[in-house]
Amino acid sequence: MKYSYRNKNRSRIRTAVIASSLLCAAVLAPSAQAAGDDTLSGIHAGDVLVRLRAISIMPNVQTTGTLSALNVGVNNAIVPELDLTYMIRDELGIELILGTSRHQLTSSLGGLGGVNVLPPTLLLQYHFNHAGRIRPYLGVGLNYTLFYNNGLNAGGQPISISNHSFGPALQAGVDVQVTRSLFVNADIKKVWMHTDASLGGQSLGRLSIDPVIVGVGVGMRF
């Protein structure tokens, strides 16, 4: 009888321990899962995304007036680009793109020199699958282009250009999460920009650059 009683007590204690363990696991599981989800992937309202890309700028040149007759072209450029995105909602972000490049202009008469282009662009983005590791996005916004350090000339005479322009911008890209904070990025943009040129006070026409910009890089989530 004593042996049986002891066995029953041990069995009850063992059952109680197992039951307590299962109860604790049931209570703690949702919290552990939530904590795990928070450390895995995804972006949410209030997050800041910082990306550094290498971009290839490929102008789609259109000209008017004398510039067309001279068959003016603009060369490609490969430069770094920095962008900052603030997530105002889980799916919506506002992105500011910063970068500058220098382009050489050519014509049927030969090289016309170079000019620097600074095109800060502000975009409203929609992020698909914001809670996942692979997050495509689309963006639409406004571009402001500043033309500076103008070295254009024809026959030794300086070519004057307008200093700035405004135009729309479109964007598509994807972020792929690597760690909790680090991700890789691929991105393509279409930006509309233009300048008006003149020589000795006489108009040469309008130069529309309107590049397609392709970039790859890395980003951090804060």
CB of 90 closer than 8 Å to CB of 43: yes
**Interval 161-214: pLDDT, tens:** 999 999 999 999 999 999 999 999 999 999 999 999 999 889 999 999 999 999
Question: In angstroms, rounded to a whole number, what is the distance separating the alpha carbons of residues 101 and 144?
Answer: 14
pLDDT at residue 112, rounded to an integer? 93
pLDDT at residue 2, rounded to an integer? 41
**3.30.420.40, 3.40.50.720, 3.40.50.150, 2.40.160.20: CATH of 48-221:** 2.40.160.20
pLDDT at residue 98, rounded to an integer? 95
Q: Which residues pair with 136 in a beta bridge?
A: 174
pLDDT at residue 24, rounded to an integer? 38
- What does the domain layout of the chain look like in residue ranges? 1-40, 48-221
pLDDT at residue 41, rounded to an integer? 76
- Residue 77: which residues within 8 A CB-CB, separation 6 or more? 56, 57, 101, 102, 103
Question: In angstroms, rounded to a whole number, what is the distance separating the alpha carbons of residues 206 and 208?
Answer: 6
Nearest to 191 by CA among 216, 179, 178, 209: 209
**Cα-to-chain-centroid distance, residue 109:** 38
Low-confidence ranges of the chain (pLDDT < 50): 1-9, 11-39
